[in-house]
Structure 1
């Protein structure tokens, strides 16, 4: 399983099976997972750096929330909504 898909599963562990299945079926969904993984890595890098990165950190947190919603929408559209 690609690391990017693992990151999505780490965020939504209750939907691990649905995420893994959809990632296996949909290149578009895998691309969303890859974007999420890259955004998360970038956020962590900014958070670990010295200096004033508050604006970039805020931007990446917003981006990650948007990607999380996109993951949720993709799962719902595929008939696999996030389990509560």
Structure 2
């Protein structure tokens, strides 16, 4: 049985399976952001099936690339500082 991450459990434990295409809630959790912070800051556009918003999915590989680009340009505090800025928790 495949264990999909759930928001209610706070995301996956080590070794859990993340699907390649994520819902917006899963994508936000995957990036460590609230859904509203994710939608305000993430430049990755979702893919859709038949132009149906109910079927929009975010590609996990594109999310990884976005995070990696931000890590490369972050300061000495690294990506955790960047993540705090995205979540609105850093000054």
TM-score by shorter chain over 0.5: no
Higher relative contact order (CA closer than 8 Å, sequence separation 6+):
1
More helix by share: 1
